[in-house]
Structure formats: C-alpha cells, structure tokens
Amino acid sequence: MIKIGVLGFQGRVYEHIYMLKILAKKYKIPVEAVIVKKKDRLEGLNGIIIPGGESTTISVLARKFGVLDELKKLIEDGLPVMGTCAGTIFLAKKVSDRVVGEVKQETLSSMNIEVVRNYFGRQRESFEIDLDIQNIGRKFRAIFIRSPAITRYWGRTRVLAKLNGVIVAAEEDNKLAFVFHPELTNDLRVHKYFIESFVAR
Ligand code: GLN
C-alpha cells in the first residue's frame, strides 16, 4: 500500500484526497490517502501533499501542532512532497509578497525556490489557462487562485512550466511544486506523475 498524507490544517484538503481516490480506482494503484494534522500521522508515509489555501495559516498551525519541524526533517531525508499554490509557498526557502514586499512567515524552507505571493495581481487574481507541463503533458487546465509565482530558483531545481515567461511549476529531487490548483480539475496527470515518478519509483 502506498500511503499518501495530505497536510490537513487548512485549504483544499479534501480535493486532493478525492483525486488520490479516483487515481487509485482508475489506474488500480494501491494508494491510501490520510489527512495529517498531528505529528504521529507523519509516521509511515510514502509521500505528502501540501494543499493550496492560505500559506500563513498553514504555517502557523503546522508550528502550533508540532508538525513543522518533523515534516521538514522527513523531507530533508527524502520524503516525496508535492505542494500546490500555498503549499508551494510553504515549501520555499524564500518568500515575499507582491504588494507588501518582505514577509515574516515561517516556511519549511525545503525547496531552492523564491516565491512571490499574490504575484498575478488583483485583476487576474483568479483565472484558468491551458499549460504545457514538462514530463506531465500538454494542455493541462491550470486554475490560478491568488497564486504565487516562482521568481528564482537554484540548486537542483528544474523548471517544468512557464506562463508568459513566469515559472509556475518546478521540481527538485523529491519535491514537486505547482503555483496553481491541479486538484480542482478532473485531470489526474499531475497526481499520477507525483505518485509514479516521485513516490513509487
Ligand atoms: N495567496 C495565498 C497565499 O499566499 C495562496 C492562494 C492559494 O493557495 N490559492 O497563501
């Protein structure tokens, strides 16, 4: 059994659980999805997803409930992780905000990326667009909701997709990051890629 946790403090938690369930059924992959809100729930995981939502809230609660340090350590030790939107912000080593500039929010500081929160601005706060994503495929319907952008990367990070020259998906070793919401579509390709190429490899 492949056990995938979804960090469950806040955000689009159930949508990821649902995607994993459909994936398991459709491709007959033995995936079990669990919601993680406590440290002991991190035990025995084969991978974890950090959902979109509000990155400051996720960070504050992960600290409060004692999950942050343990999760950071597990990722350092190689636990496969996928972040979507706020989840990507929470993975980043450097974070700023498009409007207020410097922010003092705590992150896992796991991935060699810099992100700018709310990058796409007011008028385009939320939009959908078809993207070609390397390793995943063409015309993936990407839903952006007050999404960040990846503005800088270093180390072993590789870019997977860009929108008008702006990085919107990247990967680095055991880490996979999207600034949009693949869990809000019914396209399973992103989750399938995570399970097949990161978790079950
Ligand atoms: N703007 C949110 C944040 O900064 C992210 C939005 C999202 O996850 N949909 O945390």
User: Using an 8 Å Cβ cutoff, are 50 and 13 in contact?
Assistant: no
Is 183 labeled as catalytic in the residue annotation? yes
Q: Where are the alpha helices (DSSP H) in the chain?
A: 13-27, 55-64, 68-76, 86-91, 189-193
Residues belonging to the chain:
201
- Give CA angle at 78 (97, 68), nearest 5°: 50
Query: What are the residue ranges in the chain where pLDDT is below 50?
Result: none
Which residue out of 15, 16, 171, 181 is catalytically annotated? Answer: 181
The rounded Å distance from CA 58 to ligand 1 centre is 10
pLDDT of residue 121: 80
- Residue to substitute in 7, 54, 115, 122 for testing ligand 1 pocket (most ligand atoms within 8 angstroms of CB): 54
Is 191 labeled as catalytic in the residue annotation? no
CATH C-level class of 2-199: alpha beta
Q: How far apart are CA 155 and CA 124, in angstroms?
A: 31
The rounded Å distance from CA 29 to ligand 1 centre is 30
143-187 confidence digits (pLDDT tens): 999 999 999 999 999 999 999 999 999 999 999 999 999 999 999
pLDDT of residue 124: 67
* Domain ranges for the chain: 2-199
Query: Bridge partners of 170?
Result: 159, 177
CB of 131 within 6 A of ligand 1: the answer is no
The rounded Å distance from CA 87 to ligand 1 centre is 8
Q: How far apart are CA 179 and CA 163, in angstroms?
A: 11
User: Using an 8 Å Cβ cutoff, are 67 and 38 in contact?
Assistant: yes
Atom of ligand 1 nearest to the CA of 55: 10
